[in-house]
Amino acid sequence: MVKVIQDERKAGQPTLVLYDVQDDKRRTKVMNACKDYGLARWQYSAYQGKLTHAARRELETRLEKALGDSGGLIAILQLEQWQIDDATIIFQVPEDD
C-alpha cells in the first residue's frame, strides 16, 4: 500500500520527475518514492503531480539516496501551472485487433 507523505490538502507547484535508472532495485526505489509523495505515473519513467517546496526537497534527498552510486539520471522539474494548462498532450489508445 502506498503511504502518501505529503498532505494532499496543501497547495504545491506542478512537478515532473523523469528518470532513467539502470539498476532494477534502484529504479523500483525511485518509482516508490514518487508514489509515496503522491505523484501519478505519466508514462513508464515519468511521474507528475503537485509538491510543496518542503516535499520537493525531501523527495530530492530520497531520490538521490535511491540512485546511490549506480548509473542513471533523475530530473525533477518544477513547472508553472500555465505550462501544464498550455501543454499539448497527444494521447492515443490503440484499437483492439
Domains annotated on the chain, with CATH:
18-83 (3.30.70.240)
Please name which of 24, 35, 32 lies closest in space to residue 71, comparing C-alpha atoms. Answer: 24
Whether residue 92 is predicted with pLDDT greater than 70 in this model: the reply is yes
Residue with cell string 542513471: 72
- The annotation status of 36 as a binding-site residue, yes or no, is no
Query: What pLDDT is recorded for position 94?
Result: 84
Higher pLDDT, 91 or 48: 48
* Rounded CA separation 30/85 (Å): 27
pLDDT in tens, 49-77: 999 999 999 999 999 999 998 889 999 99
d(CA 72, CA 78): 20
- Give every CB contact of residue 81 below 8 A, 6+ residues apart in sequence: 14
The residue count of the chain comes to 97
**Which DSSP category does 9 fall into?**
T
pLDDT band at 3 (very low <50, low <70, confident <90, very high): low
The mean of the pLDDT values for the chain is: 88
Helices (H), 1-97: 24-36, 53-67, 81-85
* pTM summary value: 0.82
